[in-house]
Amino acid sequence: MHTIKHSTNQYIPEETSNLRKGIDNQREIYKHSNLQNDHETMTKALENIKAEIKNRAINKKQTQKIVRITQILNWYKDLPYKYTKKTPTGLKIKYPPQLELLIQKNLNIAYELTIDILNILNLI
């Protein structure tokens, strides 16, 4: 009679959770949008990731990072109200030239904070 030895050192790939797949997808959307300077999509991707991890992050004492991410997202959303001007043809949004760099910098700070939280939560 032959006995079959089972190796305990065999690697069995872990099933990727739907949460992790969703977060990975949103991260890819963010990175692609960053290359395209599509701030709206970058913001939406960050909001989606934040919504998924917020409670877990707070449980891991990452409240300050979540608050900072939220502040940056809210700052970005308020920009059109701050820079709307009345013109003879109606309301127009006029951003100063240096604002593009500031938007990019702040959204990337929010993304870096998000990545820090994802590492702490073992989601990447």
Q: Quote the pLDDT of residue 45.
A: 97
Q: Quote the pLDDT of residue 12.
A: 41
Q: Higher model confidence: residue 28 or residue 12? A: 28
The domain defined by 18-120 folds into Four Helix Bundle (Hemerythrin (Met), subunit A) (1.20.120)
**pTM of the full structure:** 0.80
Q: Higher model confidence: residue 1 or residue 93? A: 93
Chain-centroid distance of CA 27 in Å reads 6
Reported as a pLDDT band with limits 50, 70 and 90, residue 96 is confident
Average model confidence (pLDDT) across the chain = 87
Q: Give CA–CA dist 100/110, Å, rounded.
A: 16
Query: Smallest Cα–Cα separation from 107: which of 21, 26, 32, 40?
Result: 40
Averaged pLDDT for residues 97-121: 94
Q: Higher model confidence: residue 36 or residue 11? A: 36
Per-position b or e across 32-45, b if 16+ CB within 10 A of its CB? ebbeeeebeebbbb
Reported as a pLDDT band with limits 50, 70 and 90, residue 18 is confident
What would the two tokens of residue 33 be?
A: 């949008």
Say whether pLDDT at 10 is over 60: no
Say whether pLDDT at 47 is over 90: yes
